[in-house]
Structure 1
C-alpha cells in the first residue's frame, strides 16, 4: 500500500501551494511553490514565478505557505486533461482538430492553476515549423 505522507501542517510532497507573503522581497506574493520536503519546523520547496521563468529553492515556515483553493475545470480543460491522461501528450493541432479547443495554452494554464504538473517541449515538424507538445509530468 502506498500512503501519502502529510506534514503536521497539512502539506504533502509534490503538492503545489502558494506563498502568503513576499519571499524573498523581490519575489511577488502568491507565487507557486512545489513542496519538496518538510520536517516539523520547515518546508523546503521550489518557487516558480507566474510565467515559469524563475525558479529557486526556498526554506519556508508553515505560515508562509497555503494550499491553493481547488477550482472546477472548464469542459475544454477537462477534455485536454483526459487526452493527456489517455495518450500521454497533446499538441495544438490535436487540440484544435480532435477536441475543437482553439486556445490550448490557456487550457494548459487552467490545468497548471488547478495543480497539475505539465511539461512543454518545443518540437519541429518535417517542414521546419516549430510547435509545442504538452505532457503530464510525474510528481
Structure 2
C-alpha cells in the first residue's frame, strides 16, 4: 500500500498570507507546504502537495490520487460549495478523505455553510487555522493505520 497522502488546495489559496489576513492569518501556502512535509515525514508518509485555481485540474488530481494515494486531504476553497464535478471525482476515491478549511466556515456568511464535499468526506477539519493541515495529516495517518489493522 502506498504511503502517500495527497494534500489538495483549491482556488485562491496561493494568496494565503496576503488575502484577508484577518480571516486566514499571515501564514503562506509555502509555509503550510513545508509544515505538511515535515509532519508527514515524522509519521513515515510522503506528501503530494498541489494547489490550483482551476476546477478541472483539481478533479484530475483526485483521479491521480486514485492510483497513487492512501488518502486525500482537500481544502477545496470556493469549490466546496459549487463543484459537482469535484464531488463526483471524490466519490470515486475509496480511501479516507479529509475536508479541511482554515477558517470556521460556519461562523462566516451563510453562503459558506453548505459544503458539497462534506457529503463524501470521511472527516472534516474546520477552523484550526494553518495548523489544521498538520492535524489532518496526523488524523489521516491514524485512519490509514486503522484501515490496515
TM-score range, shorter chain: under 0.3
Choose 1 or 2 for highest CA Rg: 1
Q: Which has the higher contact order (CA 8 A, sep 6+)?
A: 2
Greater strand fraction, Structure 1 or Structure 2: 1
TM-score (norm 1): 0.26
Greater helix fraction, Structure 1 or Structure 2: 2
TM-score (norm 2): 0.24
